[in-house]
Amino acid sequence: MPIYLGANPWILILLISLELLLIMVPALISAKIEKKPFKTVIREMGFSLTEMKLKKTLLEVVAGIGLGLLLYFTSGFILTFTVQFVELIFGTEFVNQGINNAINTTPIEPDLIQLIIIIILQVIIVAPCEEGFFRGFILKKCNSRIKLIYALLISSAIFALFHVPPFIVPITTLVTFYGYYFLLGCSLALIFTVFRSSLIPGIATHALFNVLVILL
């Protein structure tokens, strides 16, 4: 049966807040291993206010909003394509089992305050933390050792596993939705790369996409 993380909006809010660990834990470990100050590692991920220029930042936000709209309106086609591909290989029953055991993070019947909190957290925690970890940390670290294309694929593969974790969902769900999240990860990684490792466009894209999924 589906895992409804949004059945209790307050629990969903708590789980969303825990995504701060995506930044804090890797930064602490990296700082320890590389013998760097914690703040330096955070800046290397892309969180540096001193390097932000108002005009450039505003342009990146606007670009991110446009890309977020594009990603949202094309995501349905991406989902349909990837799920139908899995169905072609493994059959309808396999896909139905995958769908029936999926994780649902949409808040169920939240009040107005809960909905506002969830939307705000998507903007200030989920999008920045996921972009900082998967793109600013993993993609950058991998790209310092291997070619960009391989780093992009690895970061996107880990991004997909984060959203369909094999230790929580059955193999049917993992296989059914893995391609969808992998391609979303690739899209966000490409945005990060095109904008020369700036987190701003990806955060804006990611945040808007998530908010639209919740509201629509």
Q: For residue 48, what pLDDT is reported?
A: 86
pLDDT 10s digits, 186-216: 999 999 999 999 999 999 999 999 999 999 8
Q: Domain residue spans in the chain?
A: 56-102+111-215
Question: Can you give the pLDDT at residue 49?
Answer: 77
pLDDT, residue 6, reads 87
* Average confidence (pLDDT) over 73-90: 97
What are 120-131's pLDDT values in tens digits?
999 999 999 999
- Sign for the CA dihedral angle at 102, 169, 10, 23 comes to negative
Does residue 51 surpass a pLDDT of 80?
A: no
pTM of the model: 0.95
Please provide the average confidence, as pLDDT, over all residues in the chain: 95
Strands (E) located in 58-114: 103-104
User: Torsions phi, psi of 103, nearest 5?
Assistant: -90, 125
Q: Does the pLDDT of residue 50 top 80, yes or no?
A: no
The pLDDT score that the predictor gives to residue 135 is 98
C-alpha 62/C-alpha 200 separation (Å) is 10
Encode pLDDT of 22-32 as tens digits: 999 999 999 99
* DSSP reduced 3-state for 75: helix
Using alpha carbons, list the distances in angstroms from residue 69 to 9, 137, 167, 170, 213: 25, 25, 32, 31, 11
The pLDDT value recorded for residue 90 is: 97
Instruction: Please state, in angstroms and rounded to a whole number, the distance separating the CA atoms of residues 140 and 10.
Output: 34
Helix (H, G, I), strand (E, B) or coil at 132: helix
